């Protein structure tokens, strides 16, 4: 065999024998990981707030309404209106009232206030001080939905539940997120609950801190929930897009109506002392 052939054979098939193996760069294989917790802080002055220091309908520069009685994906029994009888501001508070009355083909009326296109944020601290309704069939919520649905319909683009309560389980408050990978529809939902004494007779502070690393839920400034970004893409963490706030009382539905609806308890109200949003300080 000619020397040139021997050299080619050595290069192609026996690099180790020729001592050339050490010169070949080897790929570095890493597993995907989530972001590092940078212990983000939040500004001390709200970037958006409603202190409800006025009277009449909710401030139209800050709040819009979802309107209708289509069941809202949960077989709910109320018709959401923009009537002042269902959402009004007076005495330093917002009152959302669910009533037993025929409206829009439904037997109950209520309101669902939204900040969509009036208050939309990616990351931040969200504080809502509220007093909850009571009675079988009530289902109040303080929550967030994606403004642009960038990853697709529910649950692909995510949902953040800052506070949920069902009247048949008095004083137990829930904090939850929903994603394509983690939701009740497939039995993987990640949430937490806590008994909050006097949830319907006293104001309590419901809060989330949302950063690129985690969504953390607090009640009266005590952390009781943490959902960490695993770095597995939008199916597990769609929370890198803008979201807006919602405040509402549903009646009945797949969860709120599990033990029926007691028509005698209505009207029922959720009172909100304030809503404050603080910008996350970038690092």
Q: DSSP secondary-structure letter at 38?
A: -
> For residues 200 and 133, is the Cβ–Cβ distance under 8 A?
yes
Q: How far apart are CA 127 and CA 278, in angstroms?
A: 8
Active site residue 164: yes
Report which DSSP code applies to 68. Answer: B
Listed residue (100, 123, 96) closest to 112, CA to CA: 96
In the block, tokens 């206030």 appear at 113
**How far apart are the C-alpha atoms of 49 and 62, rounded to whole Å?**
9
| The two structure tokens encoding residue 198 | 């006097």
Q: Is 180 a catalytic residue?
A: no
Output DSSP code: residue 104.
T
Closest to 167 (Cα-Cα) out of 261, 55, 62? 261
End-to-end C-alpha distance for the chain, whole angstroms: 65
Task: Give, as one character, the DSSP assignment of residue 167.
Answer: T
C-alpha span between 209 and 214 (Å, rounded): 8
Report cis status (omega within 30 of 0) of the bond before 155.
yes
Closest of 186, 128, 187 to residue 160, by C-alpha: 128
Catalytic residue among 164, 180, 230, 271: 164
Task: Spot the catalytic one: 76, 107, 127, 159.
Answer: 159
Q: Could you tell me which of 279, 274, 277 has the C-alpha nearest to residue 58?
A: 274
Cα 221 versus chain centre, distance: 18
Known catalytic residues are 159, 164
């Amino acid at each position: 065999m000619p020397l040139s052939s021997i050299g080619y054979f050595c290069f192609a098939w026996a690099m180790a024998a020729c001592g050339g193996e050490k010169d070949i760069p080897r790929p570095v294989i890493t597993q995907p990981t989530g972001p590092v917790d940078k212990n983000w802080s939040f500004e001390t002055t709200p970037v958006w707030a409603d202190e409800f220091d006025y009277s009449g309908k909710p401030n139209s520069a800050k709040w819009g309404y979802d309107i209708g009685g289509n069941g809202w994906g949960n077989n709910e029994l109320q018709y959401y209106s923009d009537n002042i009888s269902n959402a009004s501001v007076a005495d330093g508070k917002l009152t959302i009232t669910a009533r037993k009355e025929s409206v829009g083909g439904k037997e109950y009326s209520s309101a669902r206030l939204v900040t969509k296109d009036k208050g939309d944020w990616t990351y931040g601290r969200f504080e809502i001080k509220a007093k909850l309704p009571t009675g079988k069939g009530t289902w109040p919520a303080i929550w967030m939905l994606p403004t642009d649905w960038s990853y697709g319909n529910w649950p692909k683009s995510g949902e953040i539940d800052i506070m949920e309560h069902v009247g048949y389980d008095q004083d137990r408050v829930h904090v939850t997120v929903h994603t394509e990978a983690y939701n009740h529809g497939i039995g993987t939902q990640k949430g937490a609950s806590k008994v909050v004494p006097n949830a319907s007779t006293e104001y309590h502070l419901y809060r989330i801190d949302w950063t690129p690393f985690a969504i953390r839920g607090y009640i009266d400034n005590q952390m009781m929930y943490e959902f960490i970004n695993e770095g597995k893409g939008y199916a597990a963490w769609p929370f890198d897009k803008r979201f807006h706030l919602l405040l509402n009382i549903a009646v009945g539905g797949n969860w709120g109506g599990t033990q029926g609806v007691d028509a005698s308890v209505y009207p029922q109200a959720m009172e909100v002392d304030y809503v404050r949003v603080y910008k996350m300080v970038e690092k």
